[in-house]
Amino acid sequence: MRNLTSNVLVAYASKHGSTEKIAHWIGNEIRGNVDVVNVNNIHNLNYDYIILGSPIYDHEPLPEMSNFINKNKEELRNKNKSVFVVSSDNEERSKREMNINALTKIIPGEINQSAVFAGEIDNSELSSSEQESVNRYMNSISKPIGSYSKLNEKKCREFGKSLNTFI
């Protein structure tokens, strides 16, 4: 029989808050006992279902997410799980694939669902080295430099809802 009250963990990493917002939107749509927790504060993986989410910085997931995955590799292998990444460069399919692969390639075992969401940048929040790095990056993909928000709450919530079929 299906477990009616699954325990679900949405484990996220976030430097400037957009992935955290998305993690909560997703968590709000999931049926069961849902914990939405920063990877830095996760102390056990006693959950029936796990959703891992990270932004992409300089083509990679945040180091705290990679470290969390490496540290828990064996336990994660047999977990039911889904993943999402948050990034700025996702208009082309090849870029979306590159960004999601940067996370999925380090996750052991099967992944039910994956999604790529557009994020946001608030230049006034960035350190000068981050501004330099992001400006270099935006130039390299021929995108305008500066703050932007492409968060799409509805799309994020729809992803959360779609996960209920696996939980």
Ligand X SMILES: Cc1cc2nc3c(=O)[nH]c(=O)nc-3n(C[C@H](O)[C@H](O)[C@H](O)COP(=O)(O)O)c2cc1C
- Closest to 54 (Cα-Cα) out of 82, 20, 30: 20
Q: Please select the residue that binds ligand X; options are 56, 69, 83, 156, rule is CB under 6 A.
A: 56
Please tell me whether residue 52 binds ligand X under the rule CB under 6 A: no
Please tell me whether residue 145 binds ligand X under the rule CB under 6 A: no
- Interhelix angle 18-28/153-162, nearest 10 degrees: 50
d(CA 154, CA 167): 20
Please tell me whether residue 31 binds ligand X under the rule CB under 6 A: no
Q: Which stretch binds ligand X (CB under 6 A): 26-34, 35-43, 55-63, 73-81?
A: 55-63
Please tell me whether residue 68 binds ligand X under the rule CB under 6 A: no
Cβ-contact 154, 54 below 8 angstroms: no
Please tell me whether residue 57 binds ligand X under the rule CB under 6 A: yes
**Phi and psi, residue 17, nearest 5°:** 100, -15
d(CA 84, CA 82): 7
d(CA 11, CA 65): 9
Cβ-contact 104, 65 below 8 angstroms: no
Binding mask 82-101 for ligand X (x = CB under 6 A): ----xxxx---------x--
Cβ-contact 38, 20 below 8 angstroms: yes
Closest CB to ligand X among 80 and 119? 119
**Residue keyed to tokens 């948050």:** 86
Q: Which stretch binds ligand X (CB under 6 A): 30-38, 81-89, 103-111, 156-164?
A: 81-89
Please tell me whether residue 17 binds ligand X under the rule CB under 6 A: yes
Nearest position to ligand X, beta carbon: 119
Shortest distance, position 77 Cβ to ligand X, whole Å? 26
Q: Which stretch binds ligand X (CB under 6 A): 11-19, 28-36, 37-45, 67-75?
A: 11-19
